[in-house]
Each structure stands twice: as C-alpha cells, then as structure tokens.
Amino acid sequence: MARPREFDEQEVVAKATDLFWRRGYHATSVRDLGTELGLKQSSLYRTFTDKHTLFLRALDHYRATESAQAQELLGAPGPSLEILREWLVWMISHEAGRGCFVVNTAAELGTADSEAGRKTEAAFEVTRQTLAALLRRGVHEGDLPAGLDVEAAVELLFTTVLGLRVRERAGHDPRRLATAIDFTITTLTRPPS
C-alpha cells in the first residue's frame, strides 16, 4: 500500500518555481530540488515523474501568478500611458535582479525544448494581446494618436519589455532602464508621419 503524501504539492511547485527562476533549468539539479524542497528524490520522481515535468509545472505556476498580476496591472482603469509606464517600471523593480521566469526560460532553452517553447510563446502572446488592448483603449480614449499602428507599437513594446527584463536581470542601472521606458512611451505619442 502506498504511503500518503506528506507534503502540499502546490507548495512544492511554488518553491520549485522560485528555485528554477533563480538558477535556471540546467543549473538546477534533482539533488538541488530535493534539498530546497525538503523531499527525497524518490518522492520527487513519484509525484512529478522527472525534473522536466516539475519545471513545466513551475512555468505554469509562474504564468498563473506573476503573469496574471501583470495582466491585472495593464487592465487597470485610468490613462493608458500612465498604466503602461507604471507597469514597465513595476516590471523592472518587482523581483529586482531575477528578470522574468518566462523570458529567462526562452533565453536559456530557446527552441531546444518544444514544450517549454510552447509555454513561453503562449505567455508572450498573452502579453502582446494585453498590450494591444491597452493601446487600442488609449487610441479610443484619445491618449494615443488616432493613426497609431497598434500592431507595430505592440511589437516595439514587446521587444522593449524583453530587453528590459534581460537588462534588469543583468543588474543594469534602473535609472537607465527608466530612461528607455520614458523614451519608448514618448515615441508612442508621436503622430504617424
């Protein structure tokens, strides 16, 4: 007869998320996971099958918590440019030095891991759609020029976001990142030529 689990699976996934987020996939061994989570390797394998499965669960957990918080911030009422700037500044100051787990995963694993790739692309698409909705609202409410190419602006913002997250993880000066944020927002307010 199998012994009942003596741990909360969701709590373990949350702790694994933190470890993978700090160290990355390749730098985190099963032994590291066992030590950090306070579990024997046999319990890890019995519950999660392998390190990769636990990593994918951690990525899902991150998306359900951190990414949901970003969506909530971008969907807040108020002037769209203020919301956008507040979100971008929050992004580089929240969890300083860690970057974004999704961006870190995309940078580390690239196209080598198709399952992780699908999850990172899905998260990126949610960000793009949320930014597009905010920009469309800004155009509709008059915060942004009527002729703004929303799709092109989303790509500019998305690329800026990825760059900011990598630079934030690399420890770049937040004031320089804020300068990039302000310039990007100013660029959005210029009428199309």
Residues 129-156 have pLDDT tens digits of 999 999 999 999 999 999 999 999 999 9
In angstroms, the Cα distances linking 18 to 87, 99, 128, 146, 175 are 22, 12, 25, 42, 26
pLDDT at 40: 83
Topology classification of domain 59-189: Tetracycline Repressor; domain 2 (1.10.357)
All residue ranges of the chain with pLDDT < 50 are 1-2, 4
Quote the CA–CA distance of 66 and 104 in Å, as a whole number. Answer: 14
In angstroms, the Cα distances linking 93 to 24, 26, 117, 126 are 20, 26, 26, 21
pLDDT at 46: 87
Quote the CA–CA distance of 152 and 158 in Å, as a whole number. Answer: 10
pLDDT at 4: 47
pLDDT at 147: 92
By C-alpha distance, which of 153, 8, 107, 66 is closest to 144? 153
Please tell me the pTM assigned to this model. 0.88
Burial (CB count <10 Å: 0-12, 13-18, 19+), residue 140:
exposed
Quote the CA–CA distance of 94 and 81 in Å, as a whole number. Answer: 19
